Amino acid sequence: MHQPIHHSRRRFAVVLGTNEIASAVAVQLHRTGFAVVMSHDPFPPVIRRRMAFHDALFGDPVSVDGVMGERADDGMQIYHALRHSPAIQVTWLPLPDLLPVRSIDLLVDARMQKHRVTPDLSRLARLSIGLGPGFATAVNCDVAIETRPGRSGLIVAQGWTDAADGVASPLGDAGAERFQYSQATGRWHTAVEIGRRVFKGFVLGHLGGEPVRAPCDGIVRGIARDGSDVPVRVKLLEIDPRGRHAQWTGLDSRGRTIADAVCRAAGKLDEPQDARAYVRV
């Protein structure tokens, strides 16, 4: 029988991003005994907010798959939370502000910034993991994991993860046509809640005063938070057309697969340092 882990002895994980993939990773790491802090990045906007801890940043009560998230505003609050709080900490603080809090055991970049230059995570934590395009084991992280459909969760032993191909992951029979993208920069306004049934052409919000309509019939699976400043050519909203099989809360199969791969890779923390040396070559 496993003994409960005292909070003060939990290993410290930082997950970059507050999207649904980052949140799935945070949930699974939390369940394996890590104290987890999620660091928000504003790009791209988070749309699958009922599957993510993102809205905790605004003080909203958030639970993902039964795990609670709470907002943390400064390093001292996070330090105390790592010792005493059972919730995942969600913060606006960037990684440089988290480094002094405590030595990081595990750092996971789950921001899914497909077309941006990825940072070098090496030596910022005992073990660093990069998810998706732009990462290579022993180049800018210790472990690189694929996120592309059909290869999600594959740990890349050598070379780079697959580059972004611009093809949307399928959801039932729908691809990119289930999304609406921003046509310009602007302030986004919407009164529509995730989980609402809508029909093609229904106005879901306004970007810079211009109406944005539902691209198809279905359930609102994701939509950018009201009042967000949105850059051009990013996803604003998503419709799930699968009828009674639609999902807009909890962890989906892709998120679980990627998160489980992260947990397997995190097992390297239990190996002797010299057994992990190959990733530093």
Tokens encoding 26: 């945070």
3-state secondary structure of 70: strand
Q: How far apart are CA 253 and CA 37, in angstroms?
A: 23
CA-angle at 111, arms to 110 and 112, nearest 5°:
90
- Residues in Cβ contact with 42 at an 8 Å cutoff, skipping those fewer than 6 apart: none
Residues of the chain falling short of pLDDT 50: 1-6, 275-281
Backbone angles phi, psi at 203, to 5 degrees: -75, 120
What pTM, to 2 d.p., does this model score?
Answer: 0.91
Q: How far apart are CA 56 and CA 46, in angstroms?
A: 12
pLDDT at position 5 is 45
In angstroms, the first-to-last Cα distance of the chain is 39
Q: Are 196 and 208 in contact (CB under 8 A)?
A: no
CA-angle at 16, arms to 10 and 21, nearest 5°:
95
Q: What share of the chain is helix, strand, coil (3-state, %, to 5)?
A: 25, 25, 50
The CATH number assigned to the domain with range 10-164+253-280 reads 3.40.50
pLDDT, tens only, 58-86: 999 999 999 999 999 999 999 999 988 99
pLDDT, tens only, 164-194: 877 778 888 888 899 999 999 999 999 999 9
Q: How far apart are CA 181 and CA 179, in angstroms?
A: 6
Domain positions in the chain are: 10-164+253-280, 176-241
Give the CATH number of domain 176-241; options: 2.40.50.100, 3.40.50.2300, 3.90.226.10, 1.10.510.10: 2.40.50.100
